[in-house]
Every structure is written in structure tokens, then in C-alpha cells.
A = this chain, B = another copy of it.
């Protein structure tokens, strides 16, 4: 920041761009703390007083950034959903078989579930939101479900996945993944990476026409589903 201030170092005010950025950072800090408190205590038991206290600010100060508790909940959800939307967009653009896409989604979604914002996709109740926001959440959930089904259907069509009921198969996979948001504990013995590696194979191998363990190298999961190098990790 120091080098950016050279032009304005005569002024006691921050340049507009810096102020905007500082505001965005503070807004996100509120969400990071709020999602933590909501997950720890449950949305209904959690208070904005506690969120404010942990941030060393007053509760009224929170209202500089958000209008209400349920708006904060919605924004936490939105940050998790953004992660999922981004990774689906990347997978959609990739040139892989249906099975490859499914594995990539399982891997990335498993990692997302092990983050606070990711867990907020499954740990909170849309009925606590304003109706128009609840509807956005429900539509997005349907979208994720349909993406799983679409990759499975693509896999059946391209021969990488054995014939099955895409709806039931998608439910079985999504259930295992969403459950991570409930049981995962940061700092526990299982890292998000190890969970994602294991689930990417375990949850899809029964669907695959050729098992990973028996298949030849070219049928192994596409690069995107492999364990990323440490630098790539979020």
C-alpha cells in the first residue's frame, strides 16, 4: 500500500480506490467471522452482538455493511455458491468424458465443503432468508443437482459410465459430499485434499465402465481431478 500512496501522501484521506478496497475487505471480514459464529452456534442461536464483539466493533457498525442478520446469512451462502459456480464453469469448458467431469466435480466440491463458506451451502436453512433470496438458494441447489445428473447422463452417452438412473446416482453422490460440510473439522486427521482424493474415486468408481484400479493409464482420471500441487491449493 505504501507505494500506492506516493501521489497522495500530502492528503490525510485515503484515495478513493483504497477506501473502496478497505471497505470490501472489512465487509468480507464480517462475513468470515459471521459464517464461523453461525456454524459454531447455529444461525438462530448466534447473535450479531457476538459477531461484532469478536471483530472489536459495535453491533451498529455492522449495519454499515449489511442491513440484517439474514442478509449476512445470504451473503455467506453466496460466497460458497460462487466457488461452486466457478468450478462448474471450468469443468464445463474442459474436454473430458462425462466420468472425467463427474470426478472433477466431486473432487472440487469435496474441497469446497471443507471450507466455511462451502459448508454454509448445506448447514443453513433457506427458510431463514427473505423469500426472494430463499428462491435464489433453491434454484442454485437445483442447478448443482442437475449438473451432477448431466455429467452422469453425458458419461452414459459417451460410454464412460455404466447405464444407471442419473437421478438416484446424483443423490447418492451429493449426499456423501454434502455430509462433509457437517462432519469435517479443520485441523482434524483428514485433510480436505485427502478427503477429495478419496471421494473422487470412491463415489464414482462404481459408476465407471472401467475401474480406476484395473484401468490402463489413459483411462485414469483426467489431470484436473488429480491431487493439485501445494501451490494450487486454496
Contact = CB atoms under 8 A, between A and B. Distances in A.
Interface in A31-46: 41-42, 44-45
Given A44-B128, A175-B176, 15 more contacts: A42-B125, A44-B44, A165-B198, A167-B190, A168-B198, A169-B202, A171-B179, A171-B180, A172-B179, A172-B202, A172-B203, A175-B175, A175-B177, A205-B206, A206-B206
B175 A179 contact: yes
Interface in A78-112: none
Contacts of A167: 190
| Chain A interface residue bracket vs B | 20 to 34
A178 interface: yes
A20 interface: no
Interface of A: 41-42, 44-45, 125, 127-128, 165, 167-169, 171-180, 183, 190, 195, 198-199, 202-203, 205-206
A125 B44 CA distance: 11
Nearest to A204: B206
Nearest to A184: B171
Task: Determine which residue in A167, A169, A171, A198 has the highest number of CB atoms from chain B within 10 A of its CB, and name it.
Answer: A171
